[in-house]
Structure 1
Amino acid sequence: MELYQIMHFIAVVETGSFTKGADRAAVSQPAISASIARLEAEFDVQLLDRRRSPIAPTIAGERLFEAGKAILHVCNAVKGDLAAIARPKLLRIGILQSLSSRQVSRLLGSFKRTYPQVAIEMFDGVCDQLIGMLADRQVDTILTIFDEYAAKFPSRVLFEEPYSLAVPEGHRYALRKSVKLADLNDEPLIVRTRCDRYQEVTDLLVARGVKLRVVYQTDQDDRALALVAAGVGIALVPAHFEVPSVKQVPVSDLGLSRAIGLLWSRERENDLKEFIKFAECHCWTQ
């Protein structure tokens, strides 16, 4: 018994005719009749009642019909699995540069272990760059801060995080439950120029009369936090940044936070369902 014979048999049963079955199977009517005749000869049993119109399966034919459909289903599933292995599904993700490297690596590492058949390509950028890449279909989804552009795409908020004050472990503020903006007055400040709320934070400090003593400016978050750990200065950072020897202290009157989530291309929504669900269920607070 060959797969093509099973396909021929199912085509005849479902159409009730050798002629229609042959059309569906894209073979000639004599060819499909001979194919089923060889099946009957192999099992020494009649599979079709040819006297009826439309043609109907016998008891043995009904058994082969049900089993044959299950066999073809399994074969198609295996073909799909093998095709996925041979040509991995590609997921192109744009990632906000100011996201914690630890958060990003935990999410993508866990996803890759769960879905090893999915190939991942990642692109860094600031929010405006990522929005442009998504609009131009250079990426399928972006992990970014939510702003006024978020309404233009299907989206899902994953978590929110406040901004806090990063200080060295030995700093006098390290043991406090919280600080106020006024406590930053004349403190050596390391400025993250890539901060998503950079202008808002700067304007707020100026409005509160806080005298800024900027000792370093950088667009590299890892370097800013390394310098905080080394005791060079303090910095305002998103709360989920975690670095050894750095303590994060809430700023009670800052009142700024950011919402982080996924935006995606509507055309790729069905292909992204697994990743979106995975990101939703991911633990972002560890």
Structure 2
Amino acid sequence: MFRFEQLTYFVTTVEKGSLNKAAKALYISQPALTKQLAQLESQLACVLFHRRMTGIELTEAGRYFYERACMILEQVEQTVEGIKRFSRQNPLRIGALPSIANYYLPDIIAAYTEDEQSRVSITVRDTTSELVALLEQGSLDLAFAQDFAGHAELPGRELFQEPYLAVLPAHHPMAEQETVDFLAFCREKLLIHRDPCDIRSNFRRYCNKLGIQPENVLELDFNDSLLTYAAKGQGLTFVPQMMAEGIRDPHLTVRPFEQPFTRTIDVIFQRDAAGEVEQLCLKKESAS
């Protein structure tokens, strides 16, 4: 017997007119969607549509099944909406990297009502892989991470990109420049978070891309303050833009790199949390 999820896949494909557009709307890969629809046709023992250069073309069986599938989905949606009045709202479990939890999420949470805030819980982890593991276990509904490479079962949505900025002691010669040369920056004493850390991993990948290897590095645990060490003149560091915008220490100067490197901020979520993701994004837009 076919699954409810396959009905959603089929109806979305029909309404979008092509497998490519449907896959994007469903946050899955096109091969995965094709496989699910092939299994559906096998289970029904009939062909539902033909692929054409211009999209898909429904067979007579496909048109009949589409009408029935729409009715089933509508009835399920009505039932789910109706049952909500019999139960309390489930808590919304959000995961995030430390920088995102401290500098991005507060504006979103502030846009919630007090009742909504009471059902939100936030879990912080150092790496995207840790957050993905919690999502796989069903311990989170959604997670704000960076540089998400994709997942067979978990949808992801890119939110924005932001650069890393150099943070220098105010008396450092580089602080007098409008921009900082990344190669020269890497020859200085650097303050960097200890692994595992996504920001550290991103920095390492960028250095490898440029063929350089910083040698004078002081590693700190994530709970230590890089900015405090930098303000004391113990070295140079770098932080994401969202964090840099909050620096008010007169002993520190923030400068962009001449060869900027960036990170992508993504939200990864359970399929049934897609509605919550949309609401979160709307709240962020209204808070900005």
TM-score by structure 2 length? 0.59
Any idea what SS the aligned residue of 2:176 has?
coil
User: Pick from 222, 233, 239: which aligns with 1:220?
Assistant: 222
Q: Report the counterpart of residue 253 of structure 2 in structure 1.
A: 247
Quote how far apart the aligned CAs of 1:281 are: 4.5
| Structure 1 residue 258 corresponds to structure 2 residue 258 | no
Q: What is the distance in 2 between the residues matched to 1:141 and 1:132?
A: 12
User: Highest relative contact order (Cα 8 Å, sep 6+), 1 or 2?
Assistant: 2
Quote how far apart the aligned CAs of 1:129 are: 0.7
Q: Structure 2: where are the runs of 5+ without partners?
A: 1-81
Q: What is the distance in 2 between the residues matched to 1:222 and 1:105?
A: 21
Quote how far apart the aligned CAs of 1:170 are: 2.8
> What amino acid is the match of 1:268?
A
Q: Deviations over 1:47-79 (max 9, x none)?
A: xxxxxxxxxxxxxxxxxxxxxxxxxxxxxx9x9
Q: What is the distance in 2 between the residues matched to 1:219 and 1:152?
A: 32
The 5 A counterparts of 1:40-51 are none
> What amino acid is the match of 1:252?
E
> What amino acid is the match of 1:279?
K
Distance 1:189 1:103, change over 3 A: same
Q: What is the distance in 2 between the residues matched to 1:151 and 1:248?
A: 39
Q: What is the distance in 1 between the residues matched to 2:270 and 2:286?
A: 20
Q: Report the counterpart of residue 120 of structure 1 in structure 2.
A: 120
Distance 1:191 1:201, change over 3 A: farther
The answer as to whether partners of 2:97 and 2:145 remain within 8 angstroms in 1 is yes
Quote how far apart the aligned CAs of 1:233 are: 0.8
Q: What is the distance in 2 between the residues matched to 1:164 and 1:107?
A: 24
- Runs ≥4 residues deviating over 4 A: none
Count of residue pairs brought into register by the alignment: 198
User: Pick from 267, 273, 285: which aligns with 1:268?
Assistant: 273
Quote how far apart the aligned CAs of 1:204 are: 4.5
The 5 A counterparts of 1:195-210 are 195=199, 196-204=201-209, 207-208=211-212
Query: Highest CA radius of gyration, 1 or 2?
Result: 1
Comparing 129-138 with 217-226, which one deviates more in the overlay?
Answer: 217-226
